[in-house]
Amino acid sequence: MRRFEDALLGDENDNWMCRWLLNGSEMSGERSDTLLLDSVSRELSGRRVTCEATNSVGTARLDYVLEVECKPPDSLTASVAA
């Protein structure tokens, strides 16, 4: 597994409020300007992650499409005792 990390940076004097969305649904508890996904699996590949940052001037959005590359699963072989 690998980590995905990104940050939306603004002026340090701005009072930014960030929220993160996965395929348009808000990710519960994710309000900082940095998103850290500790557990990334092939099921996340192709999903859209959005960072939405708002301050007194307006709202900015950054969209990403996750591309997760994994090794193919090991082939399983079974032996039958005669």
Q: What is the pLDDT of residues 21-55, one digit of tens each?
A: 999 999 887 788 788 887 888 888 999 999 888 88
Instruction: Note the pLDDT of residue 78.
Output: 53
Annotated domain spans of the chain: 4-8+17-65
- Alpha carbons 7 and 26: distance in angstroms, whole number: 17
Q: What is the value of pTM for the model shown?
A: 0.66
Instruction: Note the pLDDT of residue 21.
Output: 93
Instruction: Note the pLDDT of residue 1.
Output: 40
Count the helices and strands in the chain (H runs, E runs).
Answer: 0, 6
- Alpha carbons 48 and 66: distance in angstroms, whole number: 6
Report the chain's mean pLDDT, rounded to a whole number.
77
